[in-house]
Structure 1
Amino acid sequence: MGLVPFMLQFKRWPPPVNHAALTALMDRWRPETHSFHLSFGEMTMTLEDMAMISGLPINGRA
């Protein structure tokens, strides 16, 4: 997915990977809506999610 090189820009080591969970999420990804379709509903990545992953602030000037 190309997310690991992006995360390595901000952290020194890659996050631990749960391959079974990653495979399950990939099976549930719907590119038409850019969201995950799970048993309890849809889940979408938000700006706050990316801020938490990358450690970049989302407040202030761009």
Structure 2
Amino acid sequence: MAQYRVYQMDERGHITGRIDLTCTDDDDARRQAAQLLDGTDLELWQEARRIALFTAKKDVGQSDR
């Protein structure tokens, strides 16, 4: 089993949270991280190696007005 970290990112790319995962391999880590998508972008890391970037779907009609 290997240790992974999922970083929650804000719209400016700043880290807003971290979730630690224990997974059998990179594919297992990707599956677990994908289940954590909740409207924010996520980065999946194992030590200094970025495994994946998950981009949250934004509402098309959303406005900053």
TM-score, normalised by the number of residues in structure 1: 0.29
Structure with greater proportional helix content: 1
Whose RCO is larger (CA < 8 A, sep 6+)? 2
Structure with greater proportional strand content: 2
Question: Which structure: larger Rg?
Answer: 1
